[in-house]
Amino acid sequence: MTTTTPPRFSDSPNARSKSITTADLETNGVLNRHSANHPTYSVGVSEDKGTRRTMEDAHSFVVDFDAIRGQGFFAVFDGHAGKHAAEWCGSHFHEYLLDSLHANPNLPIPDVLNQTFHAVDQTLSHMSEESDGKIHSGCTAVTAFLRVEDSQGHQSFVKRPASPASDSSPTTPENAEPDAGGSAGSSESVGNTPKKDKSSSTSRIKKALRSIGGGSSKTSSPPAEAAPKSSKYTSEGVDVFLPPASARYVLYSANAGDARGVLARSGRAVRLTYDHKGTDKQEAKRITDAGGFVMSGRVNGVLAVTRSLGDSSMKEFVVGAPYTTETELCEDDEFLILACDGLWDVIGDQAAVDLIHPVNDAQEASETLLKHALSHHTTDNVTVLVVKFKHGM
């Protein structure tokens, strides 16, 4: 469970993400630890404060998230008015997501993400109150959760002790703002429906896991009443679940603000997020309907983004409800880019995909995008996270 101990921040004005380490294969759930020989994907992260005096970005990733081989959590947090919100999210957002997943095993994942965003947002507001306003920063956020599922969208191959906090009936998150547009936190709030991209072909990720999965290599769906076969083993006291070859891989994204996620599918850029800016007509209407105003593209003349985590003094208008999407990965999906607006201010989605499409190494790909942003005179901090999906083995 997440703790309520007072947050600790360094004296440096720069946000600090947990140091990146590398393991041969097993990461044991450690934050920002690469798996050098992972069968499903590789991760690369690059960052620079650019021309700014301080660095207010943070990032995080967890390979084999929640002890399931092939799962992953990835995020970029772009701070403003200080480092604290972004730095705290970089260290703790994944813990809140894990708590929400375990406490609500039957809740649809977009709702779990929505609940997590609101819980984090509320925690940051409490931090601001307890610091007497000394910690008043906020951050935009783009997160992606690569989930391994059976054909019914569940994880019947995972057997864990039941959580006493589990909620067997899906409910609307307690802290969801009903005035954020549509169902709180969903992509309906910006006039779209979540993406549900499917392919009948066997994905490269399924192929990659076939050699370690304990089940059949068949791609047909198992009977609804029978859980697909899988296996598990223990690594440093943690049970690691190996999904069956029939498992599917679904990428759930959620963002608040203008940090962006882009999926490369057959060389084409597919945007998974929505830019919440004061220049957006629908967002501006939501703010004016709530009693605020937008001047020169800024909420109440101050903030350029209309959704964020933190910013407690503007919470009446700058909400934490995320935009969410859901995409089933297929063999055409090559890589994912998560980055703050320091990158997207100087390059478009398709140009970014084209730039790193020939680059096989995830770290080199992230560095390539970072160098492009700096050489094209971005005026902001830049953080780029690239996830490269591996071909079949």
Could you read off the pLDDT of 124-173 as tens digits, one per residue?
Answer: 988 877 776 667 788 999 999 999 999 889 998 888 766 554 443 334 34
The CA-atom distances, in angstroms, between 156 and each of 66, 95, 144, 245 are 15, 23, 22, 13
Minimum mean pLDDT range among 118-132, 200-214, 309-323: 200-214
C-alpha atoms less than 13 angstroms from C-alpha of 385 in its C-beta half-sphere: 30
Q: Supply the Cα-derived Rg of the chain in whole angstroms.
A: 20
Mean of the per-residue pLDDT values of the chain: 82
Per-residue pLDDT at 185 exceeds 80: no
Pick from 8, 108, 48: nearest CA to 366:
48
The owner of tokens 């995080």 is 60
- The whole-number pLDDT of residue 133 equals 62
- The whole-number pLDDT of residue 228 equals 54
Nearest-angstrom CA–CA distance, 275 and 369: 19
Which strands, in side-by-side order, build the sheet including 260-265? 41-48, 382-389, 333-339, 260-265, 268-271
- The whole-number pLDDT of residue 262 equals 98
- The whole-number pLDDT of residue 57 equals 93
Contact partners, residue 250, CB within 8 Å, separation at least 6: 109, 146, 147, 149, 153, 326, 327, 328, 329
Q: Which CATH architecture has domain 21-389?
A: 4-Layer Sandwich (3.60)
- The whole-number pLDDT of residue 315 equals 85
- The whole-number pLDDT of residue 383 equals 97
Tell me what percent of the residues of the chain surpass a pLDDT of 90: 60
Residues 49 and 14 sit within 8 Å (Cβ to Cβ) = yes
Could you read off the pLDDT of 52-77 as tens digits, one per residue?
Answer: 989 999 999 999 999 999 999 999 99
| Cα 114 to the center of its chain, rounded Å | 11
- The whole-number pLDDT of residue 8 equals 65
Could you read off the pLDDT of 207-233 as tens digits, one per residue?
Answer: 444 333 333 333 333 344 455 566 777
Contact partners, residue 85, CB within 8 Å, separation at least 6: 77, 79, 124, 135, 137, 138, 139, 309, 310, 311
